Amino acid sequence: MINDFDVKRHLNCITPSDQVIAKIKDLIKSGILKPGDRLPAERKMAEDFGFGRTQIREALHKLEFYGLIKTLPQSGSIITQLDISALDGLITDVLNLQEYDFFSLVEMRVILEVNAIKLCATRRTEKDLKLIEYAHQDFVRYWDTDERVTYDFAFHRAIAEGSHNPLFKSMLMIVTPEILNIYNTSGFCKPDTVNIREHFEMLQAIQVRDADKASVIMTQHLQGVVSFATSRLKEQKK
């Protein structure tokens, strides 16, 4: 049985932004907030939750990154219109990410992405292709700004959607944003024109339905993060 002490000890082990997410999850689970509802203003949540607005903003950014909320101009943050059980499960998955090491997340990402792009090249529709093209154009537009990580993820998410296997998209939404967050905090994810070229080559392979070539390029594209994760793992074992 989990007692109050265990809960408090667990909360003390997670980041303030994840504690905010846990509180939002409780509001959804209790029915106070529902899919489609607007979240309270940042200042209101800061007062109610006992955190600074910076922590509130970090939590909202993370939830938006995972597609669990949408921030609309002059409308605030809206909870995604998902089935309540699915929404609850996804938020739980986000909070449980802290239990997995970085290398495991990267290894899973490679497995997912390489197979997702193979299916995408085979199954994609013209609509899927347009969405991937738009995502690539957005990434090119913002590749040298602080927004590049968001648009990088959007490109890979569009490919996963094009696989027409919803599990690929759902699982990528769980593992990839956390990896990219570690990129940011470590300074690993920097502007690099190589990423633009490789994204374009993947797009071309999907256009001509060359699944084998697409998977090879994706494997090459992810080699940097694999090397980075391997080096981190070796340092942790020293």
pLDDT at 60: 83
Write the class of the CATH domain 100-237.
Answer: mainly alpha
Instruction: Identify which of 35, 33, 38, 24 has the alpha carbon closest to the alpha carbon of residue 75.
Output: 38
The answer to whether the CB of 46 falls within 8 A of the CB of 56 is yes
Q: Pick the range with the lowest mean pLDDT from 7-16, 58-67, 73-82.
A: 7-16
Give the tens place of pLDDT for each residue, 143-165. 888 777 778 888 999 999 999 99
Q: Interior CA angle at 47 toward 46 and 52, to 5°?
A: 35
**Residue 82 CA from chain centroid, whole number:** 17
Q: What is the mean pLDDT of residues 192-212?
A: 93
Considering only 84-88, 137-141, 226-230, which range has the smallest mean pLDDT? Answer: 84-88
Q: Return the domain boundaries, the chain.
A: 4-82, 100-237
What tens digit of pLDDT does each residue of 15-30 get?
787 788 888 888 888 8
- Would the pLDDT of 229 be above 60? yes
Mean pLDDT, rounded, of the chain: 81
> What confidence tens digit (pLDDT) does each residue in 117-136 have?
999 999 999 999 999 999 99
Class of domain 4-82: mainly alpha
| Those residues with Cβ within 8 angstroms of residue 35's Cβ, 6 or more apart along the chain or in another chain | 79, 80, 81, 82, 83, 84, 87
Q: Do domains 4-82 and 100-237 have the same CATH topology?
A: no
Number of Cβ within 10 Å of residue 207's Cβ equals 14
